[in-house]
Structure 1
Amino acid sequence: MTFLAPVAGIIGAALAVPALLLLYFLKLRRRPLRVSSVLLWEQAARDLQVNVPLRMIRWSWVLLLQLLALACLLVALARPAVPGAGPAGSRIIILIDCSASMRATDGGIGPAGAPRTRLDLARERALELIDSLGRTGSSRARAMVIALDASPRALTRFTSNLGELREAVRAIAPTDQPDDLAAAMRLVEAMTAEADGEETDDPAVVYLISDGGHAALSPQDRRGVLVRHVYAGPARGADADPRADNLGIVAISAQRDPDDPALVRVFARIQNAGPQEVSIAARCTLDGRVPEGGIRAVAVPAASAAPGGTIEPGEAGVHFTIRQTDPGIEQVVVVDLNREDLLAADDAAALVLPPVWRPRVLLVAPDSDAPPRPDVFLIQALEATEPATIRILGATEYAAGVATALQTGGDARRVPWRGFDLVVLDRVGPEVWPQAPTLSFGVPPTADGVELTGGPEPGGRPVARVIAWRRNHPALRYVSLDTLIVAPGAALRMPAESHADRAGRAAKFTELVDGTIGPLLIEIEHDTDAQDGAERVMRRIAAAFALERSNWGPDVSFPVFIANAVERLTESSGPSRLAWSIDTGARLPVVAPAAARSVIARTGTANLERVFAVSPTASDVATGLVGPLDRVGVWRLVGATQGAVEPGVVAANLVSPRESLIAVRPRAALGPGARADTLGEGLAADGRGRGGEREVWHWFVLAALGLMSIEWFVYAWRMRA
């Protein structure tokens, strides 16, 4: 037993014990009384002996009982405590791991006969901790509950209300997210700093209740608090095999064949955390249907257990080649391991496969002779890229459309380039350049401060030749410009200082082709804000010469350049070209109808629903972030009002090698100098702090009250006698 306030007990004893004894040392003050004789009063002779200032103390049961009662009160004043019987500290944080690994069903069998998860064990440990907190007898101790997953959150503030703490623990739901212990420690730091502004010498104590599978904490992550680990996992001996029976998909991707977009290749990486090699028949489905080639046999090697308790999982890859019947629609690809094990969250992974997307092209050409006549090599090269549509517009009609938009207050719905993903300017230099990706020939992008220059090359020849070009640039891949000649020579002059467009966005200039008299081809990039709030890049590619004044049009490299340029300029205009998904701990920007104030996410596999707020913007839409989605599966997004949400389907996957390992570490990795703890051992994480101690001063107070009651009866009995 230890004393939490020994000084107070010593001071109390120094004052109270002498005061009590002094009462027995002092003589009794008596009133003089005349009597006829003292022969019949035997006690009178003794009384005469006490008529002195002080006297020796005589044996008395009353004095003994009073001293014992006083001793009990003084011990209670010193705050006695029993070590290892409860949580330590006046500020206690109960941090409960509810990440994906805590859903592993190896916690034994529950009362209803169903397997218990590690999270069930963690709740029990937390409730035991709260019960022990209630037995400490300390009115200063306060606690709070934090749920640990990808986005740690406080479920209560610091409180001494044990009922509130118990309800918060019981309300913790399982998730399919990885844990972020460093973020949880940052939250702990913020909550302890905010706790009523009280100053205390006791550091905050964090009880981390988990299976120990989290990443190690650095001393900086511990944020000056004591961290203790309370193990919540299957009971295993010190020499038990740490490996667990679990297969999980830890990576997934898919891409279309460049020559046959209907052909889709899907790849998945499978991890084995168990001690045995496992052979399975993996399955790939397309909108719930198993296509031809959708089942593959794969053998995943066993995990190896290294000295020190570390596990090296076995891994294997599986590849599917499937064909879409209609590549023009969005579909969901799911890879399923088709096997039951300890953790179900990583047994399947999904991807959203967007439809084959082709850009819409607006070609603006001179129209001095109606109808407009674009360069024949240019139109043929554009048609070879197989765009969704090509509309040819004359320079006069383009200018009229811009003028109409300006007359209506700059209405963006009336501009000529609305509805197009790429604008191609063939020898047409408009006064108002389109706010869209642009490819121009023979005209400088004056909106970006670029000027056109010309003149003979050194030596007096009125032509321009190529000196060098950026062979690794996406627009010039597989393009050879050794034989390109421009006559008469022309070049582009970029602004000497940084230039901003009308919207105030700074431009980045890149010289793609350098000629004998200056740049022949340049790229200009602007950062723009998309409707979903994400930053995207709008690009322009400008050639200093018209095709009719060069020998590039009939060259074999020109169609290759056009295909590269169309892909480069439109890569951020349309939807994603690749199959995509998000992690369960990630957030996704969405665009909803302007009238919507929230977006609802629903998944049919687990019958779950989540609601996320969106805000209206100046673009007649509402934007916001969806996520984190706490469970794996395919989620459908709908607006709270009528109207579609983009994207409408989201695939959320775990794909976390650490969580799929479902490793258990009764002595968790809390960083250098850290130590594990159980509810009874009371070991501080850094080895300095005192263990959990249950105060027992109230028992000594009750004992003092009992002794005082006995003393009263003894005194009354003596007086009666």
Structure 2
Amino acid sequence: MNFLPALHAWQWGLLGLIPIGIILLYFLKLRRQPIEVPSTFLWTRTIEDMHVNSLLQRLRRNLLLFLQLLFVALAALALLRPGWQASSQSGRRMVLLLDASASMQSTDVKPSRFEQAKELLAQQIDNMDGSDSAMLIAFSDEPDVLQGFTSDRRRLRDALDLAHPTNRTTNMLDSLKAAAGLANPNRTSQAADVNDIQVADALPATLYIYSDGRVGAINDFDLGNLTPKFIPIGSGSANNMAITAFSAERNPEDPSQVQAFATIANLGAQPQSVTATLTRDGEFLDASAVELDPGEEEGLSFALQIDDDAGLKLSLDQTDDLAIDNVAYTGLSPLHSVAVLVVTPGNEPLKTAMQTPRAARLGRLEFVEPSYLETEEYKKRAADGSDDLIVYDRCAPETMPLASTWFIGSLPPQDWEAGDLSSAVFVVDVDRTHPIMRFLELFAIKIVEGKTLTGPAGTQTLMTSDSGPILALASRRGYQDLVLGFEIASQSEDGGEAYNTDWPIQRSWPVFVYNVLRYLGGAIDTTGAPSYRPGQPITLRTENRLTEVELRLPSGETETLTAGVGGQTGFSDTEAVGQYQLFAGDRLLQMFTVNLFDAQESKIPATETIELGYETAETIAGEQNRRSEAWRWILLAALLLLVLEWITYSRRVWVSPARG
């Protein structure tokens, strides 16, 4: 038998005053009123004193007083919720993991998987006795320690009440690391944001996982002293059609021509037919019917005519078991010109590539001599961030500007080093996944001589030669620096222009220069709004002259952001799915969207097993070891006692005089 206190201390104090008040009522001094009657004999029982005649008089034996006090005692006992458990285990140590990822919002069980998991967790907490201890961790893409190890059931229930589902993807590994650090000797938690965990003694513990099982593969993880138990939530036959990708892009030749692309997948257990509807700021644009079998996906394409900025929404016209992936957002940021400054002693191939019709549409190009770096005009525009991209051909500034840069045959003034000059450089590897290197075939180019590059921490190698990296990209406080380890053109002995490579006569050269202008200059951002995952922190770059901007959230509310050096600002509250717009006054600067876009999370049919490292978690029913409650029977007895008290009082006042 154990008890679950249901009241706070002050509430118990008020309850304790009730029996004292009842006793005090029996100490009330009787006030007599003279009544003239023919005879008082018949009224003897009626006027029998139920109260004392003077204060501090000894109480008589009184059945009513006993019944009233017994009723209050039974009511107080019922509030303690006495009961017993089906399991005889005691002294348990438990780690309770609650899945709060997006798939737990599925409604194949009512009201939702997350709410059902909370109900089962509440039962588990109620099943604890005084010798048990537990901690509660909610997890999505990162763990959230709701309550450290405690034997206080009230604290655990209060922490459980604060738990809420998220729109994020699932990553249970960090939560497992946090749990394993509590049960295994010589381990500490490596998970993020779990510094408030109180690491207990290295004792065995039971790990209860309340989840739909959509946690992905967890390999090479040793649970040690943890014994995993999996409580599956949800149905294996849940249905879900999901939008797993959605984007829009302008035609570089004609920016008013827009192409929108989407991918629809059937990630449920039954064939489905839906209509995908495309709207712009609530106005209908186009629609397409989709019919898919389980596991299939289909791509959609929409051709649009949009001259200015726009917010696009794609929605599926059906109600399935997961709503968050039935809508997706993208957008087109306002078109703006890119300002590019080229500092060069003379480079005809570079100038020709930058002045192609496609490149010229990106914005303003200005060519200056290296001596321009010594002027006050340059120093001011470099400090103000007036340019989006500065190209340094065989020259370098004293300090780095507030702009992205491209160094050709030279190095930035800090954090970069070059190896010895080598001859006959051959390209052996290219990072084709990076936007700068797309659509390029570079293995046939010839390079007379060049130097290998070593950049700051985090530098990304885009082109590798037989000697080492010769094209690399590094981030710098919101800007990016591209360094090419060889010259394109140089000056010959007779003062003419000589070439160090045959790259300018290859088809890939103008494409490469165009990619650099789009990516480093920021023109690539004008094609479509970038999309982020829920909860993902992002960095926004505004115009350098701005110190404050307004961010409009999907709810319609606005938040003021302070821009730092170079117009850079950060934002992390991206939990809500939808469109975010950045304004300077009434002028739209840019936009971005937040979408789920995760096929693993949208694949919602629940699983019956979870593989954790080298073992399979034991699957148990959620109702196992249910607590048997006794308070209802006690409360019923108290009510019967209350009826008995009323009958006793009634017989004493009315029945007895009648008999007399």
TM-score, normalised with respect to structure 1: 0.58
TM-superposed deviation, 1:469: 7.3
Letter in 2 for 1:207: Y
Distance 2:138 2:478 in 1: 34
Q: Single out whichever of 549-558 and 168-177 deviates more from structure 2.
A: 549-558
Equivalent residue, structure 2, for 1:659: 601
Letter in 2 for 1:299: E
Decide which of 87, 95, 98 is 1:96's aligned counterpart. 98
Equivalent residue, structure 2, for 1:204: 205
Distance change (3 Å), C-alpha of 1:259 and 1:197 = closer
Decide which of 363, 370, 373 is 1:388's aligned counterpart. 363
Equivalent residue, structure 1, for 2:312: 333
Equivalent residue, structure 1, for 2:537: 587
| 1:634 is the counterpart of 2:576 | no
After TM superposition, list the pairs within 5 Å mapping 1:237-636 onto structure 2.
Answer: 242-291=236-285, 294-301=286-293, 303=294, 314-326=295-307, 329-355=308-334, 359-364=338-343, 379=351, 381-384=353-356, 385-386=359-360, 387-394=362-369, 396-401=371-376, 405=379, 412-413=382-383, 418-423=386-391, 425=393, 437-438=405-406, 474=437, 477=440, 494=451, 525=472, 527-531=474-478, 537-539=482-484, 542-545=487-490, 549=497, 557=505, 561-568=509-516, 571-574=519-522, 576-577=524-525, 579=528, 580-590=530-540, 602-604=553-555, 619=565, 623-624=569-570, 626-627=572-573, 629-636=574-581
Q: Single out whichever of 266-275 and 178-187 deviates more from structure 2.
A: 266-275
Asked if the contact 1:210–1:232 (Cα under 8 Å) also holds between the matched residues in 2, the reply is yes
Distance 2:349 2:133 in 1: 79
| 1:129 is the counterpart of 2:143 | no
TM-superposed deviation, 1:344: 0.5
Question: Which has more radius of gyration?
Answer: 1
Asked if the contact 1:450–1:492 (Cα under 8 Å) also holds between the matched residues in 2, the reply is no
Asked if the contact 2:550–2:585 (Cα under 8 Å) also holds between the matched residues in 1, the reply is no
After TM superposition, list the pairs within 5 Å mapping 1:10-89 onto structure 2.
Answer: 84-85=86-87, 89=91
Letter in 2 for 1:265: Q
Question: SS of the residue aligned with 1:157?
Answer: strand
Distance change (3 Å), C-alpha of 1:594 and 1:570 = closer
Equivalent residue, structure 2, for 1:168: 159
Letter in 2 for 1:634: Q
Question: SS of the residue aligned with 1:164?
Answer: helix
Distance change (3 Å), C-alpha of 1:320 and 1:566 = closer
Unpaired segments ≥5 residues, structure 1 = 2-80, 109-115, 235-241, 304-313, 367-373, 454-463, 485-489, 683-691, 697-721
Equivalent residue, structure 2, for 1:40: none
Distance 2:217 2:427 in 1: 49
Q: Deviations over 1:4-31 (max 9, x none)?
A: xxxxxxxxxxxxxxxxxxxxxxxxxxxx
Asked if the contact 2:267–2:599 (Cα under 8 Å) also holds between the matched residues in 1, the reply is no
Distance 1:693 1:218 in 2: 36
Question: SS of the residue aligned with 2:178?
Answer: helix
Letter in 2 for 1:206: L
Asked if the contact 1:87–1:129 (Cα under 8 Å) also holds between the matched residues in 2, the reply is no
RMSD between aligned residues: 5.2
Letter in 2 for 1:243: S
TM-superposed deviation, 1:591: 5.1
Alignment: residue pair count: 518
Distance 2:538 2:412 in 1: 37
Distance change (3 Å), C-alpha of 1:319 and 1:668 = same
TM-superposed deviation, 1:565: 2.4
Distance 2:113 2:226 in 1: 26
Distance 2:254 2:473 in 1: 33
Distance 1:681 1:505 in 2: 51
TM-superposed deviation, 1:439: 6.5
Asked if the contact 2:577–2:595 (Cα under 8 Å) also holds between the matched residues in 1, the reply is yes
Asked if the contact 2:245–2:597 (Cα under 8 Å) also holds between the matched residues in 1, the reply is yes
Distance 1:504 1:678 in 2: 50
TM-score, normalised with respect to structure 2: 0.63
TM-superposed deviation, 1:510: 6.5
Letter in 1 for 2:116: L
Unpaired segments ≥5 residues, structure 2 = 2-82, 189-195, 631-660
TM-superposed deviation, 1:152: 1.9
Q: Deviations over 1:190-245 (max 9, x none)?
A: 456787665375x22222222333335557253531222234336xxxxxxx3222
TM-superposed deviation, 1:347: 0.4
TM-superposed deviation, 1:676: 1.3
Distance 1:224 1:268 in 2: 46
Question: SS of the residue aligned with 2:95?
Answer: strand
| 1:153 is the counterpart of 2:125 | no
Between the aligned residues of both structures, percent identity stands at 20
